[in-house]
Amino acid sequence: MSKISPKGTSWSDYKKTLLSPEEMHEIDIKVEVITAIINARNEGGISQKELEKISGVKQPVIARMEKGQTDPRLSTILKVLEPLGKTLAVVPKSHSDLNTESL
């Protein structure tokens, strides 16, 4: 394992030593989905409490999901996305460079 110098190695470089490419890809997808949820909620001027009322997903669950403290079920993500006017799409891996606007 490589040492991190006091001057600092970037997190990107360091996480490559800790995570497989598959794990990094999975994290990137999760971040993309959660970022899209947060952006849609903020753009709509919807609080987490209001999202609870219109989605049926409890506010603490939404908060933990947005902070990355939980690995939500697909059904939970879909419940949150629906009232925000969003959905998920399954695309070929060659399109994995899509931005959050596609969600």
Instruction: Give yes or no for a contact between 37 and 86, defined as CB atoms under 8 angstroms apart.
Output: yes
Residue 4 lies in a domain: no
Residue 80 sits in a domain whose CATH number is 1.10.260.40
DSSP 76: H
Query: pLDDT tens, position by position, for the chain (103 residues)?
Result: 556 555 567 777 777 778 888 888 888 899 999 999 999 999 999 999 999 999 999 999 999 999 999 999 999 999 999 999 999 998 887 754 544 444 5
Query: How far apart, in Å, are the Cα atoms of 90 and each of 20, 29, 38, 84, 96?
Result: 22, 12, 20, 19, 10
What are φ and ψ of residue 47, in 5° steps? -80, 165
Residue 81 lies in a domain: yes
Cβ neighbours, 10 Å, residue 10: 9
Split into its structural domains, the chain has a count of 1
56 lies in which domain range? 20-86
Residue 34 lies in a domain: yes
